[in-house]
Copies of this chain bind each other. A is one copy, B any other.
Amino acid sequence: MKLIIAIIRPDRLSEVKAALFRAGVTGMTLTPVSGHGGEREVVHSYRAERVLLEFHDKVRIEMACSEPFVEPTIQAILEAARTGGVGDGKIFVQPLEQVIRIRTGERDNSAL
């Protein structure tokens, strides 16, 4: 099992949700976040110059899934989240050792 985290543009969220639904993703958790992805703004003030890290509103999507769903989930996000401009976002894949459904106590693949 893996935990997939995607950071995307808020205005791509409904496309991404629809693509995840078509890819068979049945659960996800969304968090509004603020992100920096390398953009810099040079601020000029009286006799000085400062570099500021720019931050933009993003949405963080967290999805636990079983191995066969990892690559289809990544493809769904890539297609639906991409605009081609800088700041389209990132996907992270992490190991996941246990999953438990609270209602039933089921564990791991039966809980997904």
Q: Which residues of A contact B (CB under 8 A)?
A: 2-3, 6-8, 17, 21, 26-31, 33-38, 51, 53, 55, 58, 60, 64, 74, 77-78, 81-103, 105, 111
Q: Across the interface, do B31 and A31 meet the contact criterion of CB distance under 8 Å?
A: yes
The CA of A26 and the CA of B87, in the complex, are separated in Å by 12
Taking chain A's interface residues, is the majority helix, strand, or loop, or is none over half, making it mixed?
strand
A33-B29 contact given A64-B90, A96-B93, A102-B78, CB 8 Å threshold: yes
- The one of B28, B58, B90, B94 in contact with A101, judged by C-beta atoms closer than 8 angstroms, is B90
With A17-B53, A35-B27 known to touch, is A3 a contact of B103 (CB < 8 Å)? no
Q: What 13 additional pairs, Cβ within 8 angstroms, besides A28-B35, A30-B35, A90-B111?
A: A17-B36, A27-B35, A27-B37, A27-B38, A29-B33, A29-B60, A30-B36, A64-B90, A83-B103, A88-B102, A88-B103, A90-B102, A93-B98
